[in-house]
Amino acid sequence: MSMSIITFIIFFLLVFGLSLFFPTSFLFHPKPHKIHFRFPNLYPEGLAWDPLTHQFYVGSLRQRIIAAVTDTGVSETFIFDSSLPENVTFLGLTVDSPNRRLLAAVHAMEPLPPFNALAAYDLTSRQRIFLSILPDDGGGSGRPTANDVSVDDEGNAYVTNSGGNYIWKVNYRGEASIFSRSPQFTAHPVDRNAPHSYCGLNGIAYVSKGYFLVVQSNTGKMFKVDANDGAARLVKVKEDLMVADDVVLADDAVLVVSPVNKLWYLRSEDSWGEGDLYDEIDLDLERFPTSLVVGGGKRTYVVYGHVEEGMMGISGREIFSIEEVRSRKSESGNSQIWRVLVLIGMGLALTFIWRLQKLWLVNKGKKVN
């Protein structure tokens, strides 16, 4: 076999090996993943991801429906719960993957009679496991609103009350109680003339170290809430995250989205005593982005559900979107690191090939002599 053929084979194996170990997304900056799906009058607010079936779930504003959406935009009715009161809304959604359950916060908006519950559905049979009515604390602090939901390692669910500024807990068996009424939740001033002054505690995310991160819409504050006793502490951030709607944990950051503001990226070096706001992204606010989720390939997605349009009584929209979002700073830094590593690897490989070819020429010369 000639040396040129050997060199070609080595080079081909080198390039093939690099393609396995170094993702092309870090090298060539492909466009963010955009999913457009058709589901007339859905107006989804909540968004969840199932890592087992690799599909998204989105809730309906008025239809008592939870839809499933693939990463190619194929949608179907996953849950239609006709036993719920008419026109109730599925707000926050989360997948309890170890127990194969889909958890959904259910709320009846005005002028409907008050109704707040947590519904749990089996992801395999699609049957409802339980419907847990969430208790009112009787404090008269505002009409209760079951908004977002998170789940801990033991299968307990935690639901934020945006109207009453407290957090419910629903255990694995569906038994509900009030988990946290921390004074911190009402310790900060609210501009009562602001459009979203009625919306308090909103997005909630569980951190496996034993606490939650919770955002409050009408103050822009973030709280760290102990998972054992519900004690809350304010997370210090250099600016208020006004009208924050959802919060999600990514690899090395926490993302917070506002449907009327922007998307913020935060990280912390002291377990969220203080949050460093290191990046922010402008979103398409006309499409009203509400919820975030980490999907396949650890990519972060936001849902554009046009919810405000639906709340105004407008109907007829058929197309909605789930779109990948990226931090410009994190993406740039990761790309530079991978590029340097690839260049070093290519340089070492080419040096090896050159030395091998040189050795082959020397040995050939000796044979001739």
Taking only the tens place, the pLDDT of each residue in 250-260 is 987 899 999 99
CB 157 within 8 A of CB 170: yes
Instruction: Give the pLDDT confidence of 185-218 residue by residue, as tens digits.
Output: 999 999 988 888 999 999 999 999 999 999 999 9
- CA–chain centroid gap for 284, Å, is 17
Q: Is residue 29 in some structural domain?
A: no
Q: Are residues 199 and 107 in the same domain?
A: yes
Domain residues for the domain of 17 are 3-23+333-368
Same domain, 152 and 276: yes
- What is d(CA 15, CA 45) in angstroms, rounded to the nearest whole number? 44
Are 305 and 345 in the same domain?
A: no
pLDDT given for residue 138 in this prediction = 76
The predicted structure's pLDDT at residue 224: 98
361 belongs to a structural domain? yes
DSSP state of 85: P
122 domain residue, yes or no: yes
Report residues of the chain scoring pLDDT below 50.
22-26, 332-338
Torsional sign, CA 84, 86, 91, 94:
positive
* pLDDT of res. 1: 53
Query: Contact, 305 vs 63, CB < 8 A?
Result: no
Residue 8 lies in a domain: yes
Q: What is the pLDDT of residue 142?
A: 77
Same domain, 292 and 276: yes
Number of domains composing the chain: 2
The per-residue pLDDT for 137 is 81
State whether 211 and 348 are in the same domain: no
Cis check for the bond before 111: say yes or no (omega within 30 of 0).
Answer: yes
| Calpha distance 346→12 (Å, rounded) | 12
In a domain, 129, yes or no: yes
With respect to residue 248, please indicate whether it lies within any of the assigned structural domains.
yes
Query: Looking at the domain assignment, is residue 28 inside a domain?
Result: no
Q: Are residues 140 and 270 in the same domain?
A: yes
Alpha-carbon distance of 170 to 154, in angstroms, equals: 11
pLDDT of residue 48: 98
Measured between alpha carbons, how far is 196 from 181 in angstroms, rounded to an integer? 21
275 and 344 within one domain: no
- The CATH number of residue 247's host domain is 2.120.10.30
Residues 313 and 341 in one domain: no
Between CA 108 and CA 117 the distance in angstroms is 9
Mean pLDDT of the chain: 88
Domain boundary among 309, 325, 341: 325
User: Are 192 and 337 within one domain?
Assistant: no
Same domain, 51 and 157: yes
Both 9 and 100 in one domain: the answer is no
The verdict on residue 33 lying in a domain is: no
Q: Each residue of 285-295: pLDDT tens digit?
A: 999 999 999 99
Confidence at residue 333, expressed as pLDDT on a 0 to 100 scale: 44
Q: Are residues 248 and 201 in the same domain?
A: yes
